[in-house]
Each structure stands twice: as C-alpha cells, then as structure tokens.
Structure 1
Amino acid sequence: MSITDKPKDFQTLFLDMNSFFALVEQQVQPPLRGLPIGIAPYIGGTGCIIAASREAKNFGVKTGCLVKEAKKLYHNIKIIESRPALYMIYHKEIKKVIESFTPHYQTLSIDEFVINLTSYEQNLSVATKLGQAIKDKIRLDVGDFLTCSIGIGPNRFLAKMAGERKKPDGLTIVQLKNLQEFYSGIKLLDITGINHALEFRLKNSGIANPLDFFQADLPKLRAVLNHGGRLWHYRLRGYEVDDYATFTKTIGHSHVLAPEYRSPAGAKSVLRKLIYKAASRLRAEGFFAGGIFVAISFYDGPSFKKSRRVSPFSDTRSFTSNVFEMLKDCNWYSNPSYVSVSVFNLSSSRTMQISILP
C-alpha cells in the first residue's frame, strides 16, 4: 500500500510491548511484581530511568527522569540496573511468536513490531482475533507477566496511535469512518511525531487541535509545513506514507526538552536515554557503528554540534563514554532546548565479532 492507493481499513497491526524492560525484570523476578521499579543503565542518582513499571508510573515516574528525581516521587522505588542481553532474549522470543502467525512483519525496535495484514485478515473479526491470539500466545509462550498494546488501522501511523489509546494491555481499532471522532478525543501532543516545537508552529497557524489538523486542506498544510505538510495530509487520512525500506545509513534519536529538563543535568539525563535507545536499535538491527554525532541546541546561546569517527562498537558503554568525552568541548549555556545523538559509518555485525558488553 502506498500514497497512490486509496486507504482501506484493517491494513496494519501495530504491537507495542508495555513497559518492556520493567516487565521483563518482573517476569524473571516474581518478588518484584506489584512493586514500583525503575530500570536505569546507571543506578546512581544521576542515572536516567529508561523504563518504569506500571506501579512506578502511578507515582509519576516517567522514562527520562533522573534516578534521584524518581526517588523523590517515591522514596522506596527499586532501581534496577538494565540488562540488555536479557531483554534481547525476550525480544527474540516475541519475534518467534509473531513469526508463528505471519511472515509479513517488520521489527521497528526492541519492543515494537508492525504487521501488514493479508487480504484474508483485513476485516474486523479476523483482525481482532489475530491481535488477541498474538497477545495470548506471548503470555503463554514468552511470559505470563508480559503484556502488549495492539492497534489496528488503515496505516501504521493510525495503528500505532490506536495502540496508544489503551495502555496497558489494550487492543484498539480505528476505522476511516471514525477518524473525526478519533481526532476529537486527543491533543496535538498525543499525535505520534508531534513535539512541542511542532505543536507551537501548528497553533500559531490556527491549527489548535488534532481535528483542525485533520480537517486542514493540503494547501494549508503545505504552507505551514512545506513538503512535510503533504505527508501529514495523507498520513492523517489513512494513506501509507511511512512504509518504505531504505538502506540504513544512520541510527539516532532526538528530543525537544520539556521545561523540567532545560538544564545541563536534565539534557544529559535525556541524552543517556537516547543513547540507550540508539544502542539497542544498533544491536537489534545487526550493526556496528564507526562514528558518532551529538548536537545540543540552546535558547540562550549557539548550538553545539560535533562528530567523531571511533573504533567500531555496538555496546551502550562505549557509546556513552564517547558521547560524554565529546561533550567536554561543549560550552554549556543555562537553557538547552534540544538534544540529538546518532551513529553513522555502519557495518554489519555478521562480519565482526559481537561485543559481549551491554
């Protein structure tokens, strides 16, 4: 399906494992079940929470916050050092479950998968049964404490959005005839791909909410967002504009900092989370990286950007140490606004000895 094809219902199933790292720890350590726990690569006060259990989220603990901040929110939260090798084992078992139902799937990250539904599966009854069967088999074959949210929709964007509507352990379907109702029930920042900067830009152009965004015509969106406006026009209406395969040249993540992270310490904590996510993708996609790029923008000063070629790596520890070595050259102003980190000069891990480090 592409932008030239008329959108249809029940095209895509999006699977997102709930609080994946935290639930894996609760799966293998039953005494942790029901307790607020946070997962961090470094468990000291300046460590960054990369996953929080449902119980921890109930106390306001979110991914990206510092360990010391999590402990202020709930003093007795248990912080567990991350175990990437363990999470990869469970990731591979989940892939086996999906492969037992269909070969038409794509791994997006360690905890996200997208399935292109066949013509037989493209109806309400069969798609719903498939989604529930996958959920049940993950619980039965992989772990009884693991849950996932599944969304089904006309394209992968709307399927992902549907899955986000009911967490944890949901199964939600969005259909073309219900799009106005769907967009009426959410905020701009609830839309996948909308950050604070883009929200501000849309609102300044008279697009105050998702329904306005959906109802805006193509010329309006092109005027506001240039070429991206065309993609958004079709994406919001169920056309598939995100399902394309390219040769991977870089892997990275970026983040517009929320007000509470607009400080050097906050920016560094978010960078640690982004590094962890990018390193997990690097290993999941079977690459070693030979270069690193890091960028930080500031409200009150010029941006910092630096790249460096390094010895090939795939582990989080090497990635983190290299980035923070590069940051020694950063002139830190008081109000950082945006952070970005990526790796380049990728090579297949099949031709190299795999690192034993997480």
Structure 2
Amino acid sequence: MATPRKIIHIDMDAFYAAVEQRDHPPYRGQPIVVGGRPEQRGAVAAASYEARQYGIHSAMPARIAAQRCPQLIFVKPRFDAYRAVSQQIRAIFRRYTDLVEPLSLDEAYLDVTENKLGLASATAIARQIKQEIFDQTQLTASAGVSINKFLAKIASDLDKPNGLHLIAPTQAKAFVEGLPIQKFHGIGPATARKMAALGIHTGADLKQWPEAELTQRFGKAGRFYYLVARAQDDRLVNPNRIRKSVGAEQSFAEDLRDLTQMREQLSAIAQTVKDRLDHHQRYGHTLTLKVKYASYQQMTRSCTLAEPFGDRALIYNTAERLLLLHLDRQQAVRLLGISISNLAQGAQRVEHLQLALPLSDRNSP
C-alpha cells in the first residue's frame, strides 16, 4: 500500500484586512472592509473578523455591507503591499519544500511528504510555518493538514482564525461521510441546493450515488464528487500551475427577477474580478458572462477585445451588455458570474484579436 501523501493548505486569515489593521493602528479591533465604497457601487474584497460578525463577506455589494454595519470602515486596496507580504510568506514555504502551489496571494498548497528539513510530522511543519509567518509579518495563518488537497483545504477552514487542524489518514473516510454537503470544497450554494433536492445532505449520502448517475446530473464534476465522497483526491501539488482564467460568481439566497438587482450584483462581481486580476497581475482579453437560472439551465456568453479587461468599468459594461442582449427575462436567476480568460502578464496586449460579440453562443443544461 502506498504511503499517504502529506499535504498542507495554508490560508492567511482575512489577509487584506489584516495587513491594513497591522499597518494602521486605528483600524485594529474595528470592523473594516477592503474594497470599493458604496457611492462607487463597489464590492467587498476582504472583511476583517470584526466586520464578519455582522454577516459581511467578500463579494458583497458595499451598499449592503454599510447597511449591516453603519460604523464600517472602507479601506482602498493596496495590492503592492499585499504582494510584498505574499512574497515573504512564499519564501518561508520554500524553506520546507519546492512543491508549493499558490492559489492566490493568501493561500497555497504544500506537499511536504519529502521536505527539505527531513521532518517526519506534517503537523509540526505546519505549526513551524505558522509561527514563522507570524514572527516575520505579525499576521496569522490557518493550516489544514491531510493526505490530499481536498481534505487539507477543508481542514484549514475548521479552526479559523489562527487554526491548525489535522485530518489523519485513519480519520479521512469517516470525516467525509459526516461532512455536510455545503462544507465540501468545490460544491457551491446552488449545487448544494440541487443535491439537497436529491436527498444528498452529507458525504455519506453522496457516497451512495453511482459515478455514472452523478456524471449524468452534474457533468464532469460528477466524477470529482464521486471520488471525494470516498476521501480520494489524486491531484498533485503543482508548483508550475498556470492560471487560465480569473473570475468570480455569486449565488443568491433568493432568485432574482428584477433587472436593477441583477445589475447591482453584476457591478459587485465586476469589482471582485478586477481586484483578483490586480493581485494576480494578469489581464485577459476574453470576458465570459455566466447566468444560471432557477431551472438550473445555464447560459454563457463571451466577448473578446483587443484591449485587455483591466478596468472595472470595462468589465462591468461588457458583462451588462451581454446580460441585456441574452438574458431570458421569463426565468428567475439564481447565479451570476464573470470570468476573464485569454490571459497575458501585466498589461500586455494582443493586437490581432478582434471584437467579437458574442464570441460564443452556448447553452448548457
């Protein structure tokens, strides 16, 4: 039997907000959000733990955040500062292993099965990394330790902030069987509702479904659901992972029918996408709008420009145009999303691309 891998997922706690509180003493202990202000129709990029107590979270429209917490402090993002801290943290990771797969500025997977310091305990490594991060940056991180990416990612969320959680090989299957389906990494609110309608509420319920039936109902993701229900995830930690797209989407607790509400949500999503493009320093030429209806029918429309989508107004205006052109107004909307692909580093332009609206015209069930 193969020796289990030792995977760590490190996730910084409220990263952007924590950096701002560290660098600006008046913000400490206060509810703050990093992102656009309400009058700019902005969105929350990150919320401090003090703000989260009011139900404020990333991608929330700033107007709603301000309503929930009138004393909320809005802080303009400083991506150069966040990138500098991220580089410090990644240097710490590489003291232990070269198998580091950054997912964003504030989180990464590490494979420490064979590590540079020859340490046998992945939990001990995670504890040392957390301490080094705090010593060098005065910021806290949460860590999850397990046998694969799926379990390590879930584990890092269990004891936030400043947590460290191990899901041991002998615990993995029982842990997944008892896990509520909405806690599965890779299963969003809309999919969780669809699964609940099918009687799938826990990992144990999911495990009862054959792979073929899951694939029929959920497409390619069905195989992933089949495997993770059995605590299996063979994805390697890839230090050379190339990001193919940057995006964000939002599911709604109540389906939307009002176009004004859809525009407001789309504006918040556009701000989130802009923020993510900035901190990845990647700008793309193709924008794709995703709409999922209450019927679970999904519609995507794309537009490619010679000019890269690096500006929030361009992202929003293009997405809004696609929405107005192609929305089925007879159906309620349960999810909206925007993604940017055809990525280039920095502000590089690809001049041979031509405007094509819509570039793709796809409907998928």
TM range (shorter): 0.7 to 0.9
Aligned-residue CA RMSD (Å): 3.4
Report the secondary structure of 1:258's partner residue.
strand
Report the secondary structure of 2:160's partner residue.
coil
Q: CA deviation at 1:261?
A: 6.8
Paired residue type of 2:253: A
| CA 304–251 in structure 1, closer or farther in 2 if over 3 Å, else same | closer
Report the secondary structure of 1:296's partner residue.
strand
| CA 81–62 in structure 1, closer or farther in 2 if over 3 Å, else same | same
Contact 1:10–1:122, Cα closer than 8 Å, also in 2: no
| CA 90–323 in structure 1, closer or farther in 2 if over 3 Å, else same | farther
Report the secondary structure of 1:189's partner residue.
helix
Q: CA deviation at 1:126?
A: 1.8
2:11 and 2:102 map into 1 onto residues whose CA distance is 11
Q: CA deviation at 1:274?
A: 3.8
1:266 and 1:345 map into 2 onto residues whose CA distance is 29
Q: Does 1:211 align with 2:196?
A: no
2:58 and 2:119 map into 1 onto residues whose CA distance is 34
Contact 2:255–2:294, Cα closer than 8 Å, also in 1: no
Paired residue type of 1:11: K
Residue of 339, 342, 345 corresponding to 1:342: 339
In structure 2, the partner of 1:196 is 189
Q: Which runs of 5+ in 2 are unaligned?
A: 350-365
In structure 2, the partner of 1:177 is 170
| CA 46–129 in structure 1, closer or farther in 2 if over 3 Å, else same | same
| CA 50–262 in structure 1, closer or farther in 2 if over 3 Å, else same | farther
Q: Does 1:232 align with 2:225?
A: yes
1:109-120 equivalences in 2 (<5 Å): 109-119=104-114
Deviates more, 1:276-285 or 1:8-17: 276-285
Residue of 305, 321, 329 corresponding to 2:301: 305
1:170 and 1:176 map into 2 onto residues whose CA distance is 19
Deviates more, 1:209-218 or 1:71-80: 209-218
In structure 1, the partner of 2:60 is 65
2:257 and 2:183 map into 1 onto residues whose CA distance is 21
In structure 2, the partner of 1:82 is 77
Q: Please give the TM-score of this superposition, normalised by the length of structure 1.
A: 0.81
Contact 2:203–2:229, Cα closer than 8 Å, also in 1: no
Residue of 92, 109, 121 corresponding to 1:126: 121
| CA 274–123 in structure 1, closer or farther in 2 if over 3 Å, else same | farther
1:228-250 CA distance string (max 9 Å, x none): 33322223333334436775443
In structure 2, the partner of 1:36 is 31
1:214-271 CA distance string (max 9 Å, x none): 4545455445445433322223333334436775443333333222877545544544
Report the secondary structure of 1:22's partner residue.
helix
1:13-67 CA distance string (max 9 Å, x none): 1011111111111011011111111222234273222211111111222223332
2:298 and 2:185 map into 1 onto residues whose CA distance is 29
Report the secondary structure of 1:159's partner residue.
helix
1:233 and 1:131 map into 2 onto residues whose CA distance is 29
Q: Does 1:154 align with 2:147?
A: yes
Q: CA deviation at 1:309?
A: 1.3
Q: Does 1:139 align with 2:134?
A: yes
| CA 173–290 in structure 1, closer or farther in 2 if over 3 Å, else same | same
Report the secondary structure of 1:203's partner residue.
helix
2:277 and 2:210 map into 1 onto residues whose CA distance is 39
Paired residue type of 1:231: F
Contact 2:176–2:230, Cα closer than 8 Å, also in 1: no
1:314 and 1:7 map into 2 onto residues whose CA distance is 46
In structure 1, the partner of 2:359 is none
1:100-111 equivalences in 2 (<5 Å): 100-111=95-106
Report the secondary structure of 1:70's partner residue.
helix
Paired residue type of 1:203: A
| CA 246–129 in structure 1, closer or farther in 2 if over 3 Å, else same | closer
Contact 2:13–2:140, Cα closer than 8 Å, also in 1: yes
Q: After TM superposition, what 4+ stretches of structure 1 lie above 6 angstroms from structure 2?
A: 121-125
In structure 1, the partner of 2:8 is 13
Q: CA deviation at 1:281?
A: 4.5
Q: Does 1:99 align with 2:94?
A: yes
Report the secondary structure of 1:59's partner residue.
coil
2:210 and 2:171 map into 1 onto residues whose CA distance is 19
Report the secondary structure of 2:154's partner residue.
helix
Paired residue type of 1:230: R
Paired residue type of 1:161: I
Paired residue type of 1:60: G
In structure 2, the partner of 1:355 is none
Q: Please give the TM-score of this superposition, normalised by the length of structure 2.
A: 0.80
Contact 2:309–2:340, Cα closer than 8 Å, also in 1: no
Deviates more, 1:116-125 or 1:236-245: 116-125
Q: CA deviation at 1:321?
A: 5.3
